[in-house]
Amino acid sequence: MPPFSRGFRGRPRRDVDPARIPPGQYVVDDFPVLSAGPTPRTALDEWSFTIDGAVDRPVSWPWEEFLALPSETFTVDIHCVTKWSKLGTSWTGVSVDTLLEGLDTEASHVTAWSDGGYTTNLPLADLTSGRAWVVYSFADQPLEAEHGGPARLLVPHLYFWKSAKWVRGLTLTAQDEPGFWESAGYHNRGDPWKEQRYWND
Ligand SMILES: Nc1nc2c(c(=O)[nH]1)N[C@H]1C(S)=C(S)[C@@H](COP(=O)(O)O)O[C@H]1N2
Ligand SMILES: [Mo]
């Protein structure tokens, strides 16, 4: 059975601005769960968030320090490559710009890595300029484990597989290295507005 409510598929919805729906997508009201493996459960006192790789000095924040960083609450639309989109989702977290503040790097790319072994690669430019966050709250509630809690990456302008659940760090790299789905045939960048679903799109 598909993890989304049946009946919306392919049916145009009158309450939705079509300009907000990327090509080939349909809108859902619920919040599907898509995980390639079991949900990891890392204790908060063992959790930290690390930026390392091609930086002048690696940085790492334990949970409490991460929560004390300047945060933002914002509302965005999200788009999964399996064709569902969810509009107007509200999140709280720390922007990647804030995390990178004061760091010196000549890296062009980033690998986001997660508890459980998931990785996804992005150009550094897709994570900066206020377009990406590490979020720990959804709809004013702590982020549920099945949706990536305690914290996940959120990169809403790219397909949702780039938004790594259970994210624990960003490794900055001089070369682009395909992540989990990118190595399995998904598009390297994944822009939903260009319908970059698979490697040859
Ligand atoms: N760690 C991890 N992150 C992940 C995934 C995963 O399997 N593991 N799946 C990706 C995919 S394909 C999608 S569509 C979204 C799903 O997020 P959700 O379960 O909160 O809807 O998470 C992305 N991030
Ligand atoms: Mo996905």
Domains of the chain: 47-194 (3.90.420.10)
- The percent of residues in the chain predicted with pLDDT above 90, rounded, is 92
| CB of 161 closer than 6 angstroms to any ligand 1 atom | yes
SS3 per-residue string spanning the chain = CCCCCCCCCCCCCCCCCHHHCCCCCEECCCCCCCCCCCCCCCCHHHCEEEEEECECCCEEEEHHHHHCCCCEEEEEEEECCCCEEEEEEEEEEEEHHHHHCCCCECCCEEEEEECCCCEEEEEHHHCCCCCCEEEEEECCEECCHHHCCCCEEECCCCCHHHCCCCEEEEEEECCCCCCCCHHHCECCCCCHHHCCCECCC
Task: Give me the pLDDT at residue 129, please.
Answer: 98
Mean pLDDT of the 126-149 span: 98
| pTM exceeding 0.85 | yes
> Model confidence at 83, in pLDDT bands (50, 70, 90)?
very high
Kindly state if the Cβ of 163 falls inside 6 Å of ligand 1. Answer: yes
Ligand 1 geometric centre to CA of 63 (Å): 21
Evaluate if residue 124 carries a pLDDT over 70: yes
Residue 160 pLDDT grade (very low, low, confident, very high; cuts 50, 70, 90): very high
- Determine if ligand 1 sits within 6 Å of the CB of residue 78: no
Residue 163 has pLDDT above 80, yes or no: yes
Nearest to 197 by CA among 162, 167, 147, 155: 162
Ligand 2 ion: Cβ-proximal residues, 5 Å cutoff? 34, 80-81, 161
Confidence category of residue 5, pLDDT binned at 50, 70, 90: very low
Residue 14 pLDDT: 64
For position 15, what pLDDT does the model report?
79
Question: Which ligand 1 atom is at minimum distance from the Cα of 80?
Answer: 14
Residue nearest atom 5 in ligand 1 by C-alpha distance: 35
